[in-house]
C-alpha cells in the first residue's frame, strides 16, 4: 500500500514500508526524532517523504546500536555523523575486547571445571579494563619510588613495562591479567618493592651500587653456576668462592663485609613475588619466558648467611 492521496503516509504505511512496528514509530515520533508533517482530517499523524527518509535514517543508526541521544545530536546538527560513528566505533572496540577477555576466561573455566574460584576470576576481570590495570601498576610504582633517588634508567624501564593485553588473549593471558591486578594491590608486595627501592636509593647515595657488575654476562654466569649447584647438591662453600667474584666490579675485593652486603641485597631479590610480577607481565604481553632467578638469589643469600654464622665448611656443607 502506498501513500495517501496527498502523498503523505500514516504510521501504518511507514510500518509496512520499513518493517518497524507501529509502537516503535510512534515512540520515535513522540521523542521528536521523526515528527509528523501534519494531521489527517480524522486527527491521525501523517508523514511526508522527508519523514520516511528520516525514519529510515534513525532506524539505521539504532540498528547499529547508537543511542537515542547520539541520534538526536546528528539530527539537530549538534554533532556530525562522522563524529557519532567514530565515537561509537571506539565504544564497540572496547566492548569487543572486553568480551574477548571474558571468552578467554570462560574457556579456561571450562577447561579446568567450573567452580566458585573461577567465577570470582571472571567477575574481577570484568571490572578491570586495560587502562585501569596500567593505572594500578603506575600507582604501585609511584608509591614505591616516592621521595627516593631511584636510578632514572631503572625507573624508566619499569614505567615503560606496562601490561598490554592483546585483542584476542589466550586463557593463560586472561588469567595472568587478573592475577597481576591482585598482586599489585597486595600490601605485602608493595612493601617489598618499596624496600627494594629504598636500598637502591641508599646505594646510589653512598656509592656502593658501583660495587656490583651489572652486565648480563656476569648475571648469566651467576645464574647458570648456582642453578647447577642447586640441581646437583654441591657444597655451598666452593660455589660461593666461584660466584661472589662474578658479582663484583673490577677492583672490588671479596671481603667478609662485601659478602654481608651481598647477602642483604640477595634477600630482597629472593622474594618470589617480584619474580611473579615479571612472569605475569611476560605472559600478558607475549614476551619470552622470564628466567626464575628468585631460587638462585635465595640459595645464595642462605649460603652467605650460613657462612657468616660459621655453618659452612669449605668442602662438604650444602644449602637447600
The pLDDT of residue 3 is 55
User: What is the pLDDT, as a whole number, of residue 180?
Assistant: 86
The domain limits of the chain are 11-76, 94-198, 207-308
Collect the ranges in the chain with pLDDT lower than 70: 1-6, 104-105, 108-109, 112-115, 117-119, 121-128, 311-320
Q: What is the pLDDT of residue 315?
A: 44
Predicted pLDDT of residue 93 = 83
- Are the C-beta atoms of residues 145 and 159 closer than 8 Å to each other? no
Report residue 273 CA to chain centroid gap: 17
Q: What is the pLDDT of residue 118?
A: 63
Instruction: Determine contact, residues 317/306, Cβ cutoff 8 Å.
Output: yes
Distance, CA of 200 to CA of 36 (rounded, Å): 74
What residues form DSSP beta bridges with 39? 45
φ, ψ of residue 265 to 5 degrees: the values are -60, -45
Q: According to the model, what pLDDT value does residue 108 have? A: 65
Which of 282-286's residues contact partners 24+ apart within 8 Å by CB, and which partners?
283/172, 283/173, 283/176, 284/163, 284/164, 284/165, 284/169, 284/173, 284/176, 284/177, 284/180, 285/163, 285/164, 286/166, 286/173
Task: Assign a CATH topology to domain 11-76.
Answer: Multidrug-efflux Transporter Regulator; Chain: A; Domain 2 (1.10.1660)
What is the CB neighbour count within 10 angstroms for residue 277? Answer: 23
- pLDDT tens digits, one per residue of 5-39: 567 899 999 999 999 999 999 999 999 999 999 88
28 Rama sector, left if φ>0, alpha if ψ -120 to 50, beta otherwise: alpha
Amino acid at each position: 500500500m502506498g501513500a495517501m492521496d496527498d502523498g503523505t503516509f500514516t504510521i501504518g504505511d511507514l510500518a509496512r514500508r520499513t518493517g518497524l512496528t507501529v509502537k516503535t514509530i510512534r515512540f520515535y515520533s513522540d521523542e521528536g526524532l521523526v515528527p509528523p508533517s501534519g494531521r489527517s482530517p480524522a486527527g491521525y499523524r501523517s508523514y511526508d517523504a522527508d519523514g520516511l527518509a528520516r525514519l529510515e535514517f534513525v532506524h539505521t543508526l539504532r540498528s547499529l546500536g547508537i543511542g537515542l541521544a547520539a541520534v538526536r545530536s546528528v539530527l539537530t546538527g549538534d554533532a556530525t555523523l562522522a563524529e557519532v560513528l567514530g565515537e561509537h566505533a571506539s565504544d564497540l572496540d572496547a566492548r569487543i575486547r572486553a568480551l574477548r577477555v571474558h571468552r578467554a576466561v570462560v574457556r579456561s573455566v571450562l577447561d579446568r571445571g567450573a567452580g566458585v574460584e573461577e567465577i570470582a576470576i571472571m567477575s574481577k576481570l570484568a571490572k578491570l579494563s586495560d587502562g585501569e590495570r596500567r593505572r594500578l601498576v603506575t600507582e604501585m610504582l609511584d608509591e614505591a619510588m616516592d621521595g627516593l633517588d631511584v636510578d632514572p634508567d631503572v625507573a624508566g624501564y619499569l614505567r615503560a613495562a606496562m601490561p598490554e593485553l592483546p585483542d584476542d588473549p589466550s586463557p593463560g593471558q586472561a588469567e595472568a591479567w587478573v592475577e597481576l591486578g591482585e598482586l599489585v594491590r597486595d600490601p605485602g608486595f608493595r612493601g617489598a618493592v618499596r624496600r627494594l627501592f629504598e636500598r637502591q636509593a641508599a646505594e646510589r647515595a653512598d656509592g656502593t651500587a658501583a660495587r656490583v657488575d651489572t652486565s648480563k654476562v656476569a648475571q648469566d654466569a651467576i645464574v647458570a653456576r648456582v642453578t647447577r649447584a642447586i640441581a646437583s647438591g654441591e657444597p655451598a662453600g666452593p660455589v660461593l668462592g666461584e660466584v661472589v667474584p662474578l658479582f663484583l666490579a673490577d677492583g672490588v675485593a671479596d671481603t667478609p663485609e662485601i659478602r654481608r652486603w651481598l647477602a642483604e641485597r640477595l634477600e630482597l631479590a629472593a622474594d618470589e613475588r617480584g619474580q611473579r610480577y615479571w612472569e605475569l607481565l611476560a605472559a600478558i604481553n607475549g614476551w619470552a619466558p622470564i628466567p626464575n632467578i628468585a631460587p638462585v638469589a635465595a640459595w645464595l643469600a642462605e649460603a652467605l648467611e650460613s657462612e657468616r654464622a660459621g655453618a659452612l665448611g669449605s668442602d662438604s656443607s650444602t644449602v637447600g
